[in-house]
Amino acid sequence: MLDKKNVPDVRLQYKKPLIRCWPCDVQYSVSAAIAENQYIGVGFKGMGYAIMLNDKAIRPNYFGMSADPLDEKRTGTAIAVGHGSCVREMKSESYVGSVVDVAKPERKLKSTSIERRNGRTIVRFTVSQHVGRDTVEITDFFGDPVQLSARVMWAIGDVSGDENQCDATLGYHEHLRGVAPLNWLSVGATNCKYDPSEIDPSTTLMV
């Protein structure tokens, strides 16, 4: 039986675009109940297991940390990592292994911020993604089918040294990681309430 006490408390929220856009600036927040000397990271993993719908060309990096052409086309390769007072844009250069910081000219994350509140680290960012529907492929980034719904990966680990140093070394996440479509079988998440203040800190804090 799964021990719920060992499942990390991670909440990912986003504002779904209301208009057709190709691409759209999508606003996200990710928060986790972690220690002050830990990090929370989240990245995007494309639309599904195949390169195209009804395509037998399976994506070999489906469960890996690095990006493939479908990731680059749809969701981008940015990994948002937050710890201390730092929001870092990082990327993975291999299927598994250490992530590296993205140089300023190549960064894709916008409007980044980080907050520590009630034992949680909250990371906010905006990223340009091909979401909603286009006139060619008629795909839906937030759709229900597994092949059409974009996936996210998250990980939690320790920060070596001062967590407020934005070049601090990030430790291996071990088992504190997960991957899932943003909207799988219309389930979303279990017992996870939307908190508008995690997306927009100017809104009323949810009690």
What gap in Å lies between CA 116 and CA 14, rounded to an integer? Answer: 19
Q: Token pair of 194, please?
A: 């939307």
Architecture of domain 26-185: Sandwich (2.60)
Q: How far is CA 155 from CA 3, 9, 86, 180, 200, in A?
A: 19, 11, 16, 12, 23
For residues 160 and 170, what is the distance between their CA atoms, to the nearest angstrom? 6
Q: What is the pLDDT of residue 164?
A: 97
**Facing residues of 123 across strands?**
30, 114
Query: Tell me, what's the pLDDT at 79?
Result: 94
Could you tell me the maximum CA-CA distance found in the chain, to the nearest angstrom?
49
Task: Specify whether the CB–CB gap between 10 and 25 falls below 8 A.
Answer: no
- At residue 118, the pLDDT reads 92
Residue 38 is predicted with a pLDDT of 97
User: How many other CB atoms are there within 10 angstroms of residue 113's CB atom?
Assistant: 13
pLDDT score for 15: 83
> Whole-prediction pTM value?
0.85
pLDDT number for residue 72: 75
- Per-residue pLDDT of the chain in tens (207 residues, 90 and over written 9): 334 556 789 999 888 777 767 788 889 999 999 999 999 999 987 766 666 666 667 777 878 888 877 777 777 778 999 999 999 999 988 888 889 999 999 999 999 999 999 999 999 999 988 765 554 444 455 555 555 667 788 999 999 999 999 999 999 998 899 887 776 545 555 567 788 899 988 875 544
d(CA 65, CA 99): 9
